[in-house]
């Protein structure tokens, strides 16, 4: 299965990209780095520049129907940039409306809020997004990982990098059951 990893050209938290990416590879699926611009993505380790990763597909030139699932890594700048790009927001909304499983960690919930796909969902995130999620109609809980099936497709959310082991296990289990 092809799994989209949607990130902005700059600001993704490296560990929130690379660890889920490895999980997808280990399961025999195909991770695809999708961004809002061609070239490379500049990742960060909190506020410090980290690695660079080649963009494989560009939002607006690819289609949600080509993917069986979506991973939204966090970092503060990454989802903040994505939520201001109408093509990225439409891509996320389209995947959600198709009932594809979506896994989002840390600040990535901002992109889901902008796509208007959190209403009625139970979610977690970085704690500072609690009010944003609640105001958008979600129920926020403080747990390392949440699997919500109250809507089209399963939404898997997690709070922070230290929750990555639980996040990876949860989305892998859900993605393994997904049919495209």
Strand order in the sheet with 102-105: 57-58, 30-35, 2-7, 69-72, 102-105, 155-158, 145-148
Taking the alpha carbons at both ends of the chain, their separation in whole angstroms is: 8
pLDDT of residue 103: 98
pLDDT of residue 141: 98
pLDDT of residue 178: 82
Strands (E), the chain: 2-7, 10-13, 30-35, 40-45, 48-54, 57-58, 69-72, 102-105, 122-123, 139-140, 145-148, 155-158
Q: What residue ranges do the domains of the chain occupy?
A: 2-177
Per-residue pLDDT of the chain (180 residues; tens, 9 = 90+): 999 999 999 999 999 999 999 999 999 999 999 999 999 999 999 999 999 999 999 999 999 999 999 999 999 999 999 999 999 999 999 999 999 999 999 999 999 999 999 999 999 999 999 999 999 999 999 999 999 999 889 999 999 999 999 999 999 999 998 866
Backbone angles phi, psi at 127, to 5 degrees: -55, -30
Integer Rg of the chain from CA: 14
pTM: 0.97
pLDDT of residue 180: 63
Question: What is the rounded distance in angstroms from the CA atom of residue 1 to the CA atom of residue 32?
Answer: 10
Give the strand pairing for 2-7 and 69-72.
Answer: parallel
Question: What is the rounded distance in angstroms from the CA atom of residue 46 to the CA atom of residue 69?
Answer: 26
Which pair of tokens denotes residue 76?
A: 């503060």
Asked if residue 145 lies in contact with residue 167, where contact means CB atoms within 8 angstroms, the answer is: yes
2-177 has which CATH code? 3.40.50.880
Q: Which residues are catalytic?
A: 106
């Amino acid at each position: 299965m092809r799994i989209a990893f949607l990130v902005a050209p700059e600001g993704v938290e490296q560990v929130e990209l690379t660890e889920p990416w490895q999980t997808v590879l280990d399961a025999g699926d195909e991770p695809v780095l999708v961004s809002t611009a061609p070239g490379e993505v500049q990742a960060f380790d909190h506020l410090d520049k980290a690695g660079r990763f080649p963009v494989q597909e560009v939002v607006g030139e690819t289609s949600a129907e080509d993917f069986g699932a979506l991973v939204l890594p966090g970092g503060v700048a990454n989802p903040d940039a994505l939520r201001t790009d109408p093509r990225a927001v439409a891509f996320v909304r389209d995947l959600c409306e198709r009932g594809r499983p979506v896994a989002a960690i840390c600040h990535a919930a901002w992109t889901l809020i902008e796509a208007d796909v959190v209403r009625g969902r139970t979610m977690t995130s970085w704690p500072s997004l609690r009010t944003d999620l609640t105001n958008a109609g979600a129920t926020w809980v403080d747990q390392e990982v949440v699997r919500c099936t109250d809507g089209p497709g399963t939404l898997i959310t997690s709070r922070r990098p230290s929750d990555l082991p639980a996040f990876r296990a949860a989305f892998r289990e859900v993605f393994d059951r997904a049919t495209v």
